[in-house]
Amino acid sequence: MFDPTIEAIDRLAVPGGARRFGVRSSSWFGRVALILVALVSCSSTGSATPTRKHAAVFRARVASETVVSPLFRQGVARHGSGWVFSFNDGLYRTDAAFAITRQVQPAIPAVWKARGFDHIGDIDVVNNVVYAPLEQPDYSLGKQAMLTYDATTLAYRGGVEIAQHENSFVTVDPSTRVAYSMDRFGGRALTRYDTTRRWKPLAPLRMRRRVERVQGADVRGGAAWLSTDDAADRVYRVDLTTGAVQALGSIGHVDGEGEGIDATRTPKGDLHVLSIDVKGFPVRLIELAVTTTDR
C-alpha cells in the first residue's frame, strides 16, 4: 500500500532515482517531486488496476461444400431439419438432403409486382415464419419492403414497406423479434425494426468498421453473422451489444458470388453460405466451422 509520508518518500528516494529526474532528494522541491513520481508510479502499477478482459477472436474455415439446385441462388434459412431457399421470385422448402418438398414460384404477390418489386434476397425463418426482403430496382427511391410467408405452406402472409435504399437481406432475432437489415449493400450500420409493432424502425446498430457488399445475415448467439461478395467473399461476425466487427475468413470460390447465409449449428458446420460459381452454375452451399479463442 502507498505510504504518502515524507519518511516513506525518503525511503523510496534512492540516489539514482532522484538524479534521473534532476532533483536532489534532500531539498524541499526534490521531496515534492518525488511524491509526484511515487504517486504516478503507484497509480500505474497498483494492484487495484483491473485486469482487462480481451474479446474472443472468432475464425471460420470451410469444412465442406455441396452442389445444390441452381434455383437456390439468393437466400437460405434453416427450417426444422431441412431448409428454405429463395430465388429472385421463388421460395423452396427442402429436406436435409436438399430435395424440394414444397415450392412457390412466382413467390412475389401480384400486388407487390404491380408496384415494381421483383427480387427476393436472403431470407430467415423464425417460429415457422419466413421473413423475406423484397426489392424494387430503383434504389434512389429509398423504399423497399419486407414480406412474411408461412414456412410450412409457403403461403404469403403479409408485407410492409420500409425506408431503405437497398434490401439484400433480413434476419430476425428469435429472442427479441427485432429484424436486422442494411440500408445499402455496404455500410457500417445495421438497420433495425420491431416486427411485433408492424416493423417500427428502431435506432440502427452502429458497427465499428465498414463491411462491403453484404449479401446475407443471420442472428445467432448475440451476433449477426454476415456473408458478403467482397474482395475475398468473406464472412463477418457483428457483436449485437458492442457493434464490434470481426472478419472470420473466406468461403472460397472468390471469383464467384457470395449470397445468403444461415447460422444454425448442424453436424456439417456452424455457418452455411450460398455461392454462385463464376460461370453462373453450379450453386454451392459452403459449410464453415467457427472456432473461437481468447486473444
Specify the amino acid at residue 17: G
Which range binds Ca ion by CB under 5 A, 36-44, 90-98, 117-125, 196-204? 117-125
Q: What SS3 class is residue 243?
A: coil
Residue 91: CB atoms within 10 A of its CB come to 27
Which range binds Ca ion by CB under 5 A, 1-9, 78-86, 262-270, 277-285? 262-270
What secondary structure letter does DSSP report for 122?
Answer: B
Residue 77 near Ca ion by CB under 5 A: yes
Residue 122 near Ca ion by CB under 5 A: yes
CB of 124 to Ca ion, least distance (A): 5
CB of 52 to Ca ion, least distance (A): 35
| H helices present in 63-157, as ranges | 110-113
Euclidean distance between CA atoms 228 and 213, whole angstroms: 5
| Closer by beta carbon to Ca ion, 38 or else 240 | 240
Site string for Ca ion, 156-185 (x = CB under 5 A): ------------------------------
CA separation (Å) from 227 to 1, 121, 244?
A: 52, 12, 16
Which range binds Ca ion by CB under 5 A, 213-221, 233-241, 264-272, 273-281? 213-221
Euclidean distance between CA atoms 181 and 291, whole angstroms: 25
Which are the contacts of 102, defined by CB distance < 8 A and separation ≥ 6?
92, 93, 152, 153, 154
Residue 33 near Ca ion by CB under 5 A: no
Residue 135 near Ca ion by CB under 5 A: no
CB of 237 to Ca ion, least distance (A): 15
| Closer by beta carbon to Ca ion, 183 or else 218 | 218
CB of 176 to Ca ion, least distance (A): 17
Q: Round to the nearest angstrom and report the end-to-end CA distance of the chain.
A: 31
CB of 168 to Ca ion, least distance (A): 11
| Closer by beta carbon to Ca ion, 249 or else 260 | 260
Specify whether the CB–CB gap between 145 and 160 falls below 8 A. Answer: yes
Which are the contacts of 237, defined by CB distance < 8 A and separation ≥ 6?
58, 223, 224, 225, 226, 245, 246, 248
CB of 38 to Ca ion, least distance (A): 59
CB of 215 to Ca ion, least distance (A): 10
Q: Out of 248, 260, 269, 272, point to the residue binding Ca ion (CB under 5 A).
A: 260
Interface contacts to Ca ion, rule CB under 5 A: 77, 122, 218, 260, 262
